[in-house]
């Protein structure tokens, strides 16, 4: 599976948030996609039959999902029941999106971390005697370079 099909949902959610006066369509969209995301997570973790393609498309899904939750919950200050419903549907949906993105791209995350670790991880083992010698050398060079 590729993440392109999942990209349609946050884009549609953003459009629903802008264009529609009622949030019922948004709640329906996000709750339906939450069920699909849960099924995808179960498939990826338990069954492992489908072939999943990692890549940057999934990170776009994550960013657009966060934006669509922000757009959908802008009216939360009105404190009506549908605003609470949007909040209580969109937050688990965002968590499911994040979970699926991390599960699909876990090998990419590990590869990136190992690359960073390899380029930034320098470990030097030294004894306390060599540390004391280096400290005394610095002290003597400071004394000789005085005013």
Q: Where are the domains of the chain?
A: 4-122
pLDDT in tens, 44-68: 999 888 888 888 899 999 999 999 9
Q: Which of 90, 104, 76 is nearest to 3 (CA)?
A: 104
Supply the pTM of this predicted model.
0.75
pLDDT in tens, 7-20: 999 999 999 998 98
Q: Could you tell me if 14 and 71 are in contact, meaning their C-beta atoms sit under 8 angstroms apart?
A: yes
Q: Could you tell me if 96 and 41 are in contact, meaning their C-beta atoms sit under 8 angstroms apart?
A: yes
Residue 23 CB partners (closer than 8 Å, separation 6+): 16, 17, 72, 75, 82, 83, 85, 86
Which tokens in the block code for residue 52? Answer: 């999943």
């Amino acid at each position: 599976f590729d993440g392109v099909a999942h990209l349609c949902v946050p884009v549609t959610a953003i459009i629903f948030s802008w264009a529609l006066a009622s949030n019922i369509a948004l709640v329906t969209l996000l709750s339906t996609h939450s069920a699909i995301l849960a099924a995808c997570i179960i498939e990826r973790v338990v069954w492992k039959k489908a072939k999943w393609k990692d890549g940057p498309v999934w990170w776009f899904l994550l960013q657009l999902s966060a934006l669509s939750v922000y757009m959908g919950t802008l009216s939360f200050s009105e404190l009506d029941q549908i605003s609470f419903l949007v909040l209580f549907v969109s937050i688990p949906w965002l968590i499911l999106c994040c979970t699926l993105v991390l599960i699909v791209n876990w090998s990419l995350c590990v590869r990136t971390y190992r690359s960073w670790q390899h380029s930034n991880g320098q470990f030097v083992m030294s004894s306390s005697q060599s540390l004391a010698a280096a400290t005394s050398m610095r002290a003597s060079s400071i004394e000789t370079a005085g005013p």
